[in-house]
Protein backbone atom coordinates (compact mmCIF):
# COMPACT_ATOMS: atom_id res chain seq x y z
CA UNK A 1 0.00 0.00 0.00
CA UNK A 2 1.20 3.59 -0.58
CA UNK A 3 2.77 5.22 2.46
CA UNK A 4 0.90 8.05 4.17
CA UNK A 5 2.32 11.50 3.49
CA UNK A 6 3.80 13.37 6.43
CA UNK A 7 1.92 16.47 7.63
CA UNK A 8 2.47 19.34 5.21
CA UNK A 9 3.96 17.09 2.52
CA UNK A 10 2.59 16.43 -0.98
CA UNK A 11 3.01 13.08 -2.68
CA UNK A 12 5.64 12.96 -5.42
CA UNK A 13 5.19 12.06 -9.08
CA UNK A 14 5.52 8.48 -10.21
CA UNK A 15 6.63 8.05 -13.82
CA UNK A 16 6.22 4.59 -15.37
CA UNK A 17 7.89 4.42 -18.81
CA UNK A 18 7.03 1.75 -21.37
CA UNK A 19 10.68 0.94 -22.10
CA UNK A 20 13.07 1.83 -24.93
CA UNK A 21 12.79 5.54 -24.13
CA UNK A 22 14.78 7.90 -26.34
CA UNK A 23 18.31 8.09 -24.92
CA UNK A 24 20.17 9.67 -27.85
CA UNK A 25 17.89 12.34 -29.40
CA UNK A 26 15.80 14.94 -27.61
CA UNK A 27 15.42 12.60 -24.59
CA UNK A 28 12.11 14.28 -23.79
CA UNK A 29 10.97 11.81 -21.12
CA UNK A 30 14.25 11.73 -19.21
CA UNK A 31 14.58 15.52 -19.36
CA UNK A 32 11.09 15.99 -17.99
CA UNK A 33 11.69 13.50 -15.19
CA UNK A 34 14.83 15.33 -14.14
CA UNK A 35 12.99 18.67 -14.13
CA UNK A 36 10.56 17.22 -11.60
CA UNK A 37 13.52 16.43 -9.36
CA UNK A 38 14.76 20.03 -9.22
CA UNK A 39 17.84 22.00 -10.26
CA UNK A 40 20.96 19.82 -10.69
CA UNK A 41 19.27 17.00 -8.77
CA UNK A 42 20.91 14.03 -7.11
CA UNK A 43 19.44 10.83 -8.56
CA UNK A 44 19.61 7.31 -7.14
CA UNK A 45 19.74 4.79 -10.01
CA UNK A 46 18.59 1.25 -9.18
CA UNK A 47 19.63 -1.21 -11.95
CA UNK A 48 18.75 -4.34 -9.97
CA UNK A 49 16.38 -5.66 -12.66
CA UNK A 50 19.12 -5.80 -15.30
CA UNK A 51 21.79 -8.46 -15.77
CA UNK A 52 23.94 -6.03 -17.76
CA UNK A 53 26.77 -4.69 -15.65
CA UNK A 54 26.85 -1.32 -17.42
CA UNK A 55 23.13 -0.46 -17.10
CA UNK A 56 23.58 1.75 -14.05
CA UNK A 57 26.52 3.61 -15.57
CA UNK A 58 24.60 4.12 -18.83
CA UNK A 59 21.89 6.07 -16.97
CA UNK A 60 24.46 7.79 -14.78
CA UNK A 61 26.16 9.13 -17.92
CA UNK A 62 22.81 10.09 -19.44
CA UNK A 63 21.72 12.01 -16.37
CA UNK A 64 25.11 13.73 -16.14
CA UNK A 65 24.64 14.96 -19.71
CA UNK A 66 21.17 16.20 -18.79
CA UNK A 67 22.22 18.32 -15.78
CA UNK A 68 22.40 15.77 -12.95
CA UNK A 69 26.07 15.41 -12.01
CA UNK A 70 25.19 13.92 -8.63
CA UNK A 71 23.66 10.58 -9.60
CA UNK A 72 24.71 7.42 -7.80
CA UNK A 73 24.22 3.77 -8.82
CA UNK A 74 22.72 1.61 -6.06
CA UNK A 75 23.05 -1.90 -7.47
CA UNK A 76 21.25 -4.09 -4.96
CA UNK A 77 22.15 -7.63 -6.05
CA UNK A 78 20.94 -9.42 -2.91
CA UNK A 79 18.64 -8.66 -0.01
CA UNK A 80 21.49 -8.15 2.49
CA UNK A 81 22.63 -5.11 0.51
CA UNK A 82 19.22 -3.52 1.06
CA UNK A 83 20.28 -2.88 4.67
CA UNK A 84 23.36 -0.87 3.63
CA UNK A 85 23.52 2.31 5.76
CA UNK A 86 25.34 4.18 2.97
CA UNK A 87 22.69 3.30 0.36
CA UNK A 88 19.81 4.12 2.70
CA UNK A 89 21.47 7.42 3.58
CA UNK A 90 21.69 8.36 -0.11
CA UNK A 91 18.05 7.37 -0.65
CA UNK A 92 17.13 9.57 2.30
CA UNK A 93 18.94 12.58 0.80
CA UNK A 94 18.51 12.24 -2.98
CA UNK A 95 16.10 14.28 -5.09
CA UNK A 96 14.75 11.45 -7.24
CA UNK A 97 15.00 7.72 -7.94
CA UNK A 98 15.14 5.99 -11.32
CA UNK A 99 14.60 2.21 -11.62
CA UNK A 100 15.92 0.61 -14.81
CA UNK A 101 14.52 -2.17 -16.95
CA UNK A 102 15.23 -5.88 -16.92
CA UNK A 103 13.26 -8.51 -15.00
CA UNK A 104 10.66 -7.20 -12.56
CA UNK A 105 10.76 -10.40 -10.51
CA UNK A 106 14.46 -9.82 -9.90
CA UNK A 107 13.45 -6.43 -8.55
CA UNK A 108 10.60 -7.62 -6.36
CA UNK A 109 12.44 -10.62 -4.91
CA UNK A 110 15.52 -8.52 -4.13
CA UNK A 111 14.08 -5.32 -2.66
CA UNK A 112 10.49 -6.28 -1.77
CA UNK A 113 9.84 -5.95 1.96
CA UNK A 114 13.29 -4.51 2.67
CA UNK A 115 14.25 -1.13 4.15
CA UNK A 116 14.89 0.04 0.57
CA UNK A 117 11.28 -0.63 -0.47
CA UNK A 118 9.97 1.06 2.66
CA UNK A 119 12.24 4.05 2.07
CA UNK A 120 11.04 4.41 -1.53
CA UNK A 121 7.38 4.42 -0.46
CA UNK A 122 8.00 6.94 2.32
CA UNK A 123 10.12 9.31 0.23
CA UNK A 124 7.59 9.24 -2.62
CA UNK A 125 4.74 9.91 -0.17
CA UNK A 126 6.68 12.95 1.05
CA UNK A 127 7.29 14.39 -2.41
CA UNK A 128 10.24 12.67 -4.11
CA UNK A 129 9.63 11.67 -7.77
CA UNK A 130 10.26 8.05 -8.75
CA UNK A 131 10.63 7.05 -12.38
CA UNK A 132 11.10 3.62 -13.86
CA UNK A 133 11.37 2.09 -17.31
CA UNK A 134 10.09 -1.33 -18.43
CA UNK A 135 10.54 -3.59 -15.36
CA UNK A 136 11.04 -0.43 -13.30
CA UNK A 137 7.58 0.70 -14.43
CA UNK A 138 5.88 -2.66 -13.85
CA UNK A 139 6.92 -2.82 -10.19
CA UNK A 140 5.47 0.57 -9.22
CA UNK A 141 1.84 -0.40 -8.43
CA UNK A 142 0.52 -2.50 -5.57
CA UNK A 143 -0.22 -5.33 -8.04
CA UNK A 144 2.60 -6.07 -10.48
CA UNK A 145 2.28 -8.00 -13.74
CA UNK A 146 5.19 -10.41 -13.21
CA UNK A 147 5.01 -12.29 -16.51
CA UNK A 148 2.59 -13.56 -19.14
CA UNK A 149 1.91 -14.42 -22.74
CA UNK A 150 1.63 -12.21 -25.81
CA UNK A 151 -1.51 -11.88 -27.90
CA UNK A 152 -4.56 -9.66 -28.35
CA UNK A 153 -7.12 -12.12 -26.96
CA UNK A 154 -7.47 -12.41 -23.16
CA UNK A 155 -7.13 -15.95 -21.86
CA UNK A 156 -7.26 -17.49 -18.41
CA UNK A 157 -3.89 -17.52 -16.59
CA UNK A 158 -2.39 -15.39 -19.37
CA UNK A 159 -0.91 -13.00 -16.80
CA UNK A 160 0.83 -13.81 -13.55
CA UNK A 161 0.62 -11.22 -10.79
CA UNK A 162 2.93 -10.56 -7.84
CA UNK A 163 3.16 -7.83 -5.20
CA UNK A 164 4.79 -4.62 -6.44
CA UNK A 165 6.30 -1.66 -4.62
CA UNK A 166 2.89 -0.23 -3.79
CA UNK A 167 3.57 3.37 -4.80
CA UNK A 168 -0.04 3.44 -6.05
CA UNK A 169 -3.05 1.17 -5.66
CA UNK A 170 -4.99 3.01 -8.36
CA UNK A 171 -3.15 1.56 -11.37
CA UNK A 172 -1.77 -1.59 -12.93
CA UNK A 173 0.99 -1.24 -15.54
CA UNK A 174 2.08 -3.21 -18.59
CA UNK A 175 5.03 -2.01 -20.66
CA UNK A 176 6.28 -2.44 -24.26
CA UNK A 177 2.53 -2.57 -24.81
CA UNK A 178 1.90 -2.24 -28.54
CA UNK A 179 5.34 -3.49 -29.55
CA UNK A 180 4.90 -6.84 -27.74
CA UNK A 181 1.17 -7.28 -28.34
CA UNK A 182 0.15 -7.28 -24.67
CA UNK A 183 -3.51 -6.29 -24.81
CA UNK A 184 -4.63 -9.81 -23.95
CA UNK A 185 -2.46 -10.14 -20.88
CA UNK A 186 -3.41 -6.69 -19.58
CA UNK A 187 -7.10 -7.55 -19.96
CA UNK A 188 -6.61 -10.90 -18.22
CA UNK A 189 -4.67 -9.19 -15.42
CA UNK A 190 -7.31 -6.54 -14.85
CA UNK A 191 -10.01 -9.25 -14.81
CA UNK A 192 -8.32 -10.64 -11.69
CA UNK A 193 -8.45 -7.24 -9.97
CA UNK A 194 -11.29 -5.15 -11.45
CA UNK A 195 -10.55 -2.12 -9.33
CA UNK A 196 -7.37 -0.46 -10.60
CA UNK A 197 -7.14 1.34 -13.93
CA UNK A 198 -4.88 -0.63 -16.26
CA UNK A 199 -2.22 1.31 -18.18
CA UNK A 200 -0.72 -0.24 -21.30
CA UNK A 201 2.33 1.93 -22.03
CA UNK A 202 4.06 1.88 -25.40
CA UNK A 203 7.81 2.14 -25.82
CA UNK A 204 9.30 5.65 -25.68
CA UNK A 205 6.16 6.75 -23.84
CA UNK A 206 5.58 7.63 -20.20
CA UNK A 207 2.67 8.27 -17.86
CA UNK A 208 3.51 11.21 -15.58
CA UNK A 209 1.23 10.62 -12.59
CA UNK A 210 0.96 13.64 -10.32
CA UNK A 211 0.00 13.92 -6.65
CA UNK A 212 -3.51 14.89 -7.80
CA UNK A 213 -3.81 11.54 -9.65
CA UNK A 214 -3.82 13.31 -13.00
CA UNK A 215 -1.89 11.36 -15.63
CA UNK A 216 -0.21 13.13 -18.53
CA UNK A 217 1.08 11.14 -21.50
CA UNK A 218 4.55 12.09 -22.76
CA UNK A 219 6.40 10.51 -25.67
CA UNK A 220 6.10 9.16 -29.20
CA UNK A 221 3.54 6.40 -28.59
CA UNK A 222 0.32 6.05 -26.65
CA UNK A 223 -0.97 4.93 -23.27
CA UNK A 224 -4.02 2.67 -23.32
CA UNK A 225 -6.27 3.10 -20.27
CA UNK A 226 -8.63 0.23 -19.41
CA UNK A 227 -11.18 1.07 -16.71
CA UNK A 228 -12.95 -2.00 -15.24
CA UNK A 229 -15.12 -0.09 -12.76
CA UNK A 230 -18.39 -0.81 -14.62
CA UNK A 231 -17.47 -4.37 -15.64
CA UNK A 232 -20.63 -6.49 -15.60
CA UNK A 233 -19.42 -9.94 -16.59
CA UNK A 234 -16.16 -11.88 -16.32
CA UNK A 235 -15.68 -15.56 -17.05
CA UNK A 236 -12.27 -15.73 -15.35
CA UNK A 237 -13.43 -17.67 -12.28
CA UNK A 238 -14.86 -20.56 -14.30
CA UNK A 239 -12.24 -20.64 -17.07
CA UNK A 240 -9.61 -23.35 -17.42
CA UNK A 241 -6.00 -22.53 -18.26
CA UNK A 242 -5.82 -21.01 -21.72
CA UNK A 243 -9.57 -20.55 -22.16
CA UNK A 244 -10.69 -17.37 -23.93
CA UNK A 245 -12.20 -14.90 -21.45
CA UNK A 246 -15.45 -13.00 -21.79
CA UNK A 247 -15.38 -9.51 -20.25
CA UNK A 248 -18.16 -6.95 -20.71
CA UNK A 249 -18.65 -3.22 -20.18
CA UNK A 250 -15.02 -2.19 -19.86
CA UNK A 251 -14.09 1.39 -20.78
CA UNK A 252 -11.07 1.92 -23.02
CA UNK A 253 -9.21 5.15 -23.80
CA UNK A 254 -6.09 5.57 -25.97
CA UNK A 255 -4.21 8.82 -25.33
CA UNK A 256 -1.20 10.25 -27.14
CA UNK A 257 1.40 12.85 -26.15
CA UNK A 258 -0.31 15.63 -24.22
CA UNK A 259 -3.35 13.52 -23.37
CA UNK A 260 -4.50 13.56 -19.75
CA UNK A 261 -6.55 11.22 -17.58
CA UNK A 262 -8.01 11.63 -14.08
CA UNK A 263 -7.54 8.42 -12.07
CA UNK A 264 -10.06 9.56 -9.44
CA UNK A 265 -12.95 10.32 -11.80
CA UNK A 266 -11.71 7.75 -14.36
CA UNK A 267 -12.26 10.23 -17.17
CA UNK A 268 -9.98 11.69 -19.87
CA UNK A 269 -9.33 15.42 -19.59
CA UNK A 270 -8.77 18.12 -22.21
CA UNK A 271 -5.16 18.55 -23.26
CA UNK A 272 -3.40 21.46 -21.61
CA UNK A 273 -3.83 24.65 -23.60
CA UNK A 274 -6.77 23.27 -25.59
pLDDT at residue number 230:
95
Q: Decide the pairing of beta strands 260-262 and 267-269.
A: antiparallel
Residues 69-80 pLDDT 10s: 899 999 999 999
Tell me what the pLDDT averaged over the chain comes to. 96
List Cα–Cα distances, 198 to 5, 138, 183, 253, in angstroms: 24, 11, 10, 10
| Predicted pLDDT at 271 | 86
Residue 91's pLDDT is: 98
| 51-70 pLDDT tens trace | 999 999 999 999 999 988 89
CA 254 – CA 72 distance, rounded (Å): 36
Confidence (pLDDT) at 193: 81
User: What sign does the dihedral 54-58-64-68 (CA atoms) show?
Assistant: negative
pLDDT of residue 69: 83
Which residues participate in catalysis according to the annotation?
134, 176, 203
pLDDT at 162: 97
The segments of the chain whose pLDDT lies below 70 read 273-274
Secondary-structure class of domain 14-265 per CATH: alpha beta
Check residue 272 and give its pLDDT.
81
- pLDDT tens digits along 188-201: 999 998 999 999 99
Amino acid sequence: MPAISSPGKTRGFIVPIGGAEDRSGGRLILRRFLRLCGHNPSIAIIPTASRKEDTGKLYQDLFRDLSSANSEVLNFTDRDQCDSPASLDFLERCDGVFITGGNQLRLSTTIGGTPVAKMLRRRNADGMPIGGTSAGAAIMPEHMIASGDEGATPRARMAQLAPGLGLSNKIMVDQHFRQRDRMGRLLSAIALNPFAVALGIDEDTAAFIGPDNIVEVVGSGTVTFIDPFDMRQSSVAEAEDGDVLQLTNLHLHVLKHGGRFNLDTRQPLPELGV
